[in-house]
Amino acid sequence: MSFGSPGGGATNIKPTPPERGSFPLDHEGECKHLISQYLKCLKLRRGVNDEECRKLAKGYLGCRMDKNLMAPDDFKNLGLVFDKEEAQNDTMAGQNAGTKS
């Protein structure tokens, strides 16, 4: 019995690459302690990814960037800006850049 397209022909499924490309695994466990804390936070909050857990995720991604386990990126692009102060600093920096001649 064949599971595929009608007529028994094989179906070619083209895999889709990750959105941000591939990245090396943390074989040395350099950031393992941070991911463990994040997963524990998620478990304690029954899967709700609240701000405290997201801050742990930010620390984990920061560790990966510092250890060259992922390409450096702005946390704003990753959706990990928390403090109103950080958002205001970004806004002020943008406004100041526009006023300098």
Percent of the chain past pLDDT 90, that is, above it, reads: 28
- What residues have CB less than 8 Å from 24, skipping those under 6 apart? 69
38 burial type by CB count under 10 A (0-12 exposed, 13-18 middle, 19+ buried):
buried
State if pTM tops 0.85.
no
Confidence of residue 64 (pLDDT cuts 50, 70, 90): very high
In the chain, where the domains are located? 28-72
Q: What is the pLDDT of residues 74-93, one digit of tens each?
A: 888 888 887 764 555 554 44
* Res 7: pLDDT: 63
Residue type, 97: A
* Res 85: pLDDT: 44
